[in-house]
Structure 1
């Protein structure tokens, strides 16, 4: 079997899928805010998060949901 005959399709499928959960630092980067501010949003319940074991994780769609709520609130004001 030559190298050219090797099927590379499984490698493409094995690529990392989009993350379901983000670290607090990743969520902060998505929102372009600091880590401390992100933790403050989590503490007040403005940004959804989960605890898995001793780890704090933010659902991947939570930063966008937070921005949507923020925009709606500011438009109403």
Structure 2
């Protein structure tokens, strides 16, 4: 399946959604921000948001959702850092 040949897949196909998001994350080196231990969580979320949406639209929601997801990952799965 080629996403560039059928861009509407990123609206409906889970594989295409994950693949395009993963490509963007890697292409924009967002992992370097997310893994930077010198940054607190609020600054990480702000910096990642800035890459995704330079206008920082919905930053408060992204901050809230990110912290909620981090709590679930830490509580239910023991965290994600190695």
State the TM bucket, normalised to the shorter chain: under 0.3
* More helix per residue: 2
Structure with greater contact order relative to length (CA < 8 Å, sep ≥ 6): 1
Structure having the higher strand fraction is 1
Say which one has the larger Rg.
1
